Amino acid sequence: MVRFHLNENGIYFYRLSVIPEEQGKGIAKQMLKSLEEYANQIEKPTILCKVRMTAPKNIQLYRSIGYSIYDEEIVHKPNGINIKVVSMMKQL
């Protein structure tokens, strides 16, 4: 599953997930490829996401398919938890 919304220049996705027993089979890459195809169809040249810095496997996954880090920040959650994230983007 991947959730996303459209913005002015592109697509911002979040909540990309694959059930544990299916991880490592290329499903996340297939979902992202489908999202890129959709972005091209609707003429949105950029795909963006935020990734927790505590998830280096996810950062590496996105890098392996052309995403780059363009920002780092701390997200302040309503429950008081602070999460370090990197913002990543891919130009299509």
- pLDDT tens, residue by residue, 53-68: 999 999 999 999 999 9
| Strand, coil or helix: 14 | strand
Question: Residue 63 is encoded by which pair of tokens?
Answer: 């890098």
For residue 21, give the DSSP letter.
G
Residue 9's pLDDT is: 86
- pLDDT tens, residue by residue, 21-32: 999 999 999 999
Question: Residue 27 is encoded by which pair of tokens?
Answer: 């499903």
3-91, CATH topology level: Aminopeptidase (3.40.630)
- pLDDT tens, residue by residue, 33-88: 999 999 999 999 999 999 999 999 999 999 999 999 999 999 999 999 999 999 99
Cβ neighbours for 40, distance < 8 A, ≥ 6 positions apart: 92
CB atoms within 10 A of CB 63: 14
Where do runs of H (alpha helix) occur along the chain? Answer: 27-41, 56-64
Percent of the chain with pLDDT over 70: 100
